[in-house]
Amino acid sequence: MVDNRYATALVIGSVLSLLACVYLSAAVGTQHWYQYHSLPIRHDASNASELRTLREEFRGEEMDEKTYSDPLFRLNGTLGLWWRCVLVPDPARSHWYQEPEPKMVTECVSFTLPQQFEAKYKEPGNHNSGEDLIRTYLWRCQFLLPLVSLGLVFLSGLIGVCACLCRSLTPTSVVGVLHLLAGLCSLATVCCFLAGMDLLHRVSVLPEGLDRSLGWSLYLALISSPLQMMAAALFLWAACSHRKNYTRMTAYRVA
C-alpha cells in the first residue's frame, strides 16, 4: 500500500517528465534555436545573381560550414540542431527583383546524419587551416545529448511501468537518477550549442549591422532541464521516504 503523499509525488513527477519530453522533442525538431536579423538586401537585378548563388550554395548537397553560415548571416537565417533556414524571395516569381517588395518565403534544409559528424575547421571553409576540435565536439554533443536525454527518460518510463506492475517503489530511485542525468544532458545541450555559436562568430566574418538573438526552440530545451530535475527530486524523495517508512514499520512489527 502506497501512502497518498508518495502517490501524489509520483503523479506530479510523471506529469513534469512528460512535459519535459514534449518540450525537448519540440526543440530538437524545430529550427528556431538561433536567429539572425540582417540588413535588407536591395532586390534588384544587380543583386539577383548574388542571391541566387547564396541560395544554391545553401541548398547544395556538399555541406561546408561556410556555404551555409554565410547565407544564414545575410538572409535572416535561423539555425537548429537538425535544420537551417533562410528567408528568400519566392522562387515561383521569376521576376521578383523587379518588384519593390517581393514576397519572401522561408526555405529550410536539414542536416543529414553524416553531416552532423563532419569536422569543423579553424577557418570556416578552409580545410587547410586545421580541424578545430573544440567546435567539432561541441557540435556533435549538441545533437547527441538531447537524444541521450530522451533515451534516459524512455528507459526510466519502462522501469516505472515495471515498478507499477511489481507494486514496489524501490525501482523509483533508479527512475529519479535517470531523470537527473537526463536533466543534466538537456542543460549540457544548450551550453554546447551556445558555446559553439560563440566560437563560430569569433572565427567568421559577420556582415555589418547583423543582429543576433536566441530562438524559442532553445528556450524549450532550456525549460525541459529543470522540469526533468524537479521530476527526479520527486521520484527520489518518494523512494527514499517510502523506504525509511517501511524500515520503521518493519522494526516496529519485529519489536
| pLDDT, position 1 | 45
DSSP string for 22-79: HHHHHHHH-STTEEEEPPPPP-SHHHHHHHHHHHHHHH-SS--HHHHHHHHHHTT-EE
pLDDT in tens, 35-93: 998 876 665 555 666 677 777 777 766 667 888 888 888 888 899 999 999 887 766 65
| Residue 252 domain flag | no
254 pLDDT higher than 50:
no
| pLDDT, position 166 | 75
Q: Name the band, by pLDDT with cuts 50, 70 and 90, for residue 150.
A: very high
| pLDDT, position 255 | 45
Instruction: Choose among 142, 149, 148: nearest CA to 227.
Output: 149
| Residue 250 domain flag | no
Q: Name the band, by pLDDT with cuts 50, 70 and 90, for residue 252.
A: very low
The predicted model scores a pTM of 0.85
Identify residue 20 by its one-letter amino acid code.
A
- In this predicted structure, which of 5-9, 153-157, 171-175, 222-226 has the lowest mean pLDDT? 5-9
Burial class (CB in 10 A: 0-12, 13-18, 19+), 113: exposed
- 120 vs 97, higher pLDDT: 120
Identify residue 176 by its one-letter amino acid code.
G
Domain residue limits at 53:
4-92+101-239
| pLDDT, position 43 | 55
pLDDT in tens, 206-225: 888 889 999 999 999 999 99
| Residue 173 domain flag | yes
Name 108's bridge partners. Answer: 85
Question: For residues 235 and 179, is the Cβ–Cβ distance under 8 A?
Answer: yes
CATH of the domain at 172: 1.20.140.150
99 pLDDT higher than 60:
no
Tell me the C-alpha distance between 146 and 116, whole Å: 14
234 pLDDT higher than 80:
yes
| Residue 151 domain flag | yes
Average confidence score pLDDT of the chain:
82
State the total domains in the chain.
Answer: 1
pLDDT in tens, 101-145: 667 778 888 888 888 888 888 888 788 888 889 999 999 999 999
Tell me the C-alpha distance between 33 and 216, whole Å: 6
